[in-house]
Structure 1
């Protein structure tokens, strides 16, 4: 032990200071640039009230014992570190307050020790304040779903919009692979020239909804189409919708409720199209819901895909019946697909991606971004943090009326 810390130990023993230093207060990682730009700090009165509320919530949950639900256990894990850091901060403040009783100390050596101790406490307090604000931004108060439907639909722009819808589907499925999520493309309606009219992907992962929820909206693309001979720039749109799938919502399909028809597939496909009844059409008699599939040469495979499409539609109907706000979410995300409703622009001419919702949301290297790896993940994380910052500000400011 250094001479300084031996002296501090003696000082604390002699003066009987209440000393509750914990080594974990050194363990905070450096703040990200986004966190460093916060317009509030752990010293703010409203932040203190908010932290006190979190502390009460934490200990109330801890006393529930056997009555805890899985969501309660998740919340306890979330609050554990921030409450621990907050309590350590309270101890440091108590120790700093105790030093005020020695401000009139005459002994020169003792005055130097007190000065050095104040500096130690101030550094600890600074680190704790930074760590607390970072942990507050890490708290996720949004709803959690184990699965969701991810929809992509071509908007304004005709065939060019459909082509870009296909590009986005490839980008996002690459991103799902990058994140290691389980997913399945349960419906994809392709256009005649290889684009995409609409696609629905079922994603099953507990982290997917919180990650993707801000991707919903109008995605605008500006580029010169391959078919444009005059070099004129086209502006088109694609809409993305994120539809949560609550765990307690499912659609049980009984065979007796189905009318299944087969027919010959239409479109390109050679002689096989004209000779095999591979296309499948299913009518759900109780609701009148109709789905069709002819994407595969196998009638069995098309029937399987059609049943999944039917289940998706029935689940959406249940969601609408149970909670209209969920479907309103899709409407809010998608809007009318107009070009001026964009949340993000993909400009091929300038090799630029701009997310219009966050400061500093412009990136370059569009080709790399469309690969759906780290660049997309970085932008999505920026959106998540910005949204949490806005929510945190709102919650902290709501405490201005006083702690409950």
Structure 2
């Protein structure tokens, strides 16, 4: 049997245009979500957090996941999440149902640059070090061809060492730009999610302790209907 396929996905938990209470729910959902991620042995990296107005709240958070069977795992989380409880910030508020969204971000960007996409050019170092440095072309200019981004490294007198440093810095620079583009894409994508679906939550939590709420009301109705049907049959 072959090894399980390891893939990468990016999700965002967001309050949409919800108030501070929804931002509080986002922070709580993040804790529960990461606990579930860890229990499944999935690696994660938080790419972006947007804090809410109140302390300990998040307007949104973007998380990168890496592991196998991610689609199956996310199918249990992706969608609208409901919290039933009294507002922490407005205890007299009549509203008891608060909704946030957890969605997968479809991405085309790759956060890992390839060696074949980098070109290196040796150049003479300049600055402190004087004539001894300038005698050797030890500095390295690295260019990421797909994005045309460049870095110049002259940290070491070793060309080989500067090349390694250049690749690492170029990776950081490209990833930073790609993340900015991803975040911009998230905002554009959220134009389609400004109205979070409230009718069919994928998960329901309740109370200040944020316990999972097992939804049994639909099954209860079915059981009652079956009982009534059985009674009617016995009467006849």
* TM-score, normalisation: structure 2: 0.52
Q: 1:212 aligns with which of 30, 53, 74?
A: 74
More strand by share: 2
Aligned to 2:205: 346
Please list every run of 5 or more consecutive structure 2 residues that lacks an aligned counterpart in the other structure: 118-146, 148-170, 221-236
Aligned to 1:294: none
Deviation, structure 1 residue 192: 2.4
Q: Which has the higher contact order (CA 8 A, sep 6+)?
A: 2
* Moved >3 Å (runs of 4+): 243-246, 251-254, 304-310, 312-318, 349-352
Deviation, structure 1 residue 167: 0.3
CA distance in 2, matches of 1:351, 1:171: 10
* 8 Å Cα contact 1:147/1:244 also seen in 2: no
SS in 1 for 2:81: strand
* 8 Å Cα contact 2:41/2:67 also seen in 1: no
SS in 2 for 1:342: coil
Deviation, structure 1 residue 354: 4.1
* TM-score, normalisation: structure 1: 0.32
Deviation, structure 1 residue 342: 2.6
* 8 Å Cα contact 2:15/2:100 also seen in 1: yes
Q: 2:46 aligned with 1:185, yes or no?
A: yes
Deviation, structure 1 residue 340: 2.5
CA 1:215–1:359: 2 relative to 1, 3 Å: farther
Matches within 5 A, 1:50-129: none
* 8 Å Cα contact 2:52/2:59 also seen in 1: yes
Q: RMSD value over aligned CA atoms?
A: 4.3
SS in 2 for 1:215: coil
Q: 2:87 aligns with which of 197, 212, 225?
A: 225
* 8 Å Cα contact 1:187/1:305 also seen in 2: no
Deviation, structure 1 residue 150: 1.7
Q: Number of residue pairs matched?
A: 159
Aligned to 1:250: 110
* Higher gyration radius (CA): 1
Deviation, structure 1 residue 170: 1.2
Please list every run of 5 or more consecutive structure 1 residues that lacks an aligned counterpart in the other structure: 1-72, 79-143, 255-285, 287-303, 319-326, 361-404
More helix by share: 1
Deviations 1:120-155 (A, max 9, x none): xxxxxxxxxxxxxxxxxxxxxxxx661110210113
SS in 2 for 1:180: coil
Deviation, structure 1 residue 209: 2.9
